[in-house]
């Protein structure tokens, strides 16, 4: 499957107002190309993780729309307009889940099961800490 053949910069322009495109790209066409490349890499990572369904040809319009939405997300994100970018990313992800299944949902930053724990222990010869004393309540 060749995702990069599904999308081009004109398709992105067709989905956004010209003033928004101008604002997001600083009138530099290569910025749209970079956003498309990022969207294609995202789609490839999903297809590699999930495997390509046998009937993928029936869903190419959905994949194309997901690539467009993800490219638009990349443009907004590049411009630090995260509030407007997040819904584009979610739309693109929902479309890919429709084609590839739940395995497309993996997004490192959205994985809420990740917990980072840090801690330190201070040694004090005058005090013995037992398991009942830990963690200290303050």
What ranges do the domains of the chain cover?
3-110
pLDDT band per the 50, 70, 90 thresholds, residue 56: confident
- Return the pLDDT at 90: 92
Across 2-57, the runs of DSSP E, i.e. the strands, are none
Contacts with 92 (C-beta within 8 Å, 6 or more apart), sequence order: 39, 42, 66, 67, 69, 70, 73
Give the C-alpha separation, 68 to 6, whole Å.
9
- Return the pLDDT at 119: 52
Give the C-alpha separation, 21 to 7, whole Å.
16
- Return the pLDDT at 112: 45
Give the C-alpha separation, 3 to 108, whole Å.
22
Q: Are 32 and 68 in contact, with CB atoms under 8 Å apart?
A: no
pLDDT at residue 107 above 90?
no
- Return the pLDDT at 70: 95
pLDDT at residue 115 above 60?
no
pLDDT at residue 137 above 60?
no
pLDDT band per the 50, 70, 90 thresholds, residue 108: low
pLDDT band per the 50, 70, 90 thresholds, residue 92: very high
pTM of the model: 0.71
pLDDT band per the 50, 70, 90 thresholds, residue 110: very low
- Return the pLDDT at 86: 87
Give the C-alpha separation, 67 to 60, whole Å.
10
């Amino acid at each position: 499957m060749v995702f990069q053949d599904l999308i081009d910069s004109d398709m992105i322009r067709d989905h956004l107002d010209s003033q928004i495109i101008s604002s997001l790209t600083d009138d530099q066409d290569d910025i749209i190309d970079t956003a498309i490349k990022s969207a294609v890499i995202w789609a490839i990572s999903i297809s590699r993780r999930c495997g390509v369904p046998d009937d993928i040809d029936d869903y190419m319009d959905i994949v194309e729309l997901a690539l467009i939405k993800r490219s638009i997300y990349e443009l907004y994100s590049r411009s630090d307009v995260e509030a407007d970018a997040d819904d584009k990313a979610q739309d693109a992800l929902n479309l890919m889940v429709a084609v590839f299944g739940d395995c497309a949902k993996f997004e490192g930053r959205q994985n809420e099961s990740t917990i980072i724990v840090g801690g330190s222990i201070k040694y004090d010869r005058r005090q013995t800490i037992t398991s009942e004393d830990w963690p200290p309540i303050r």
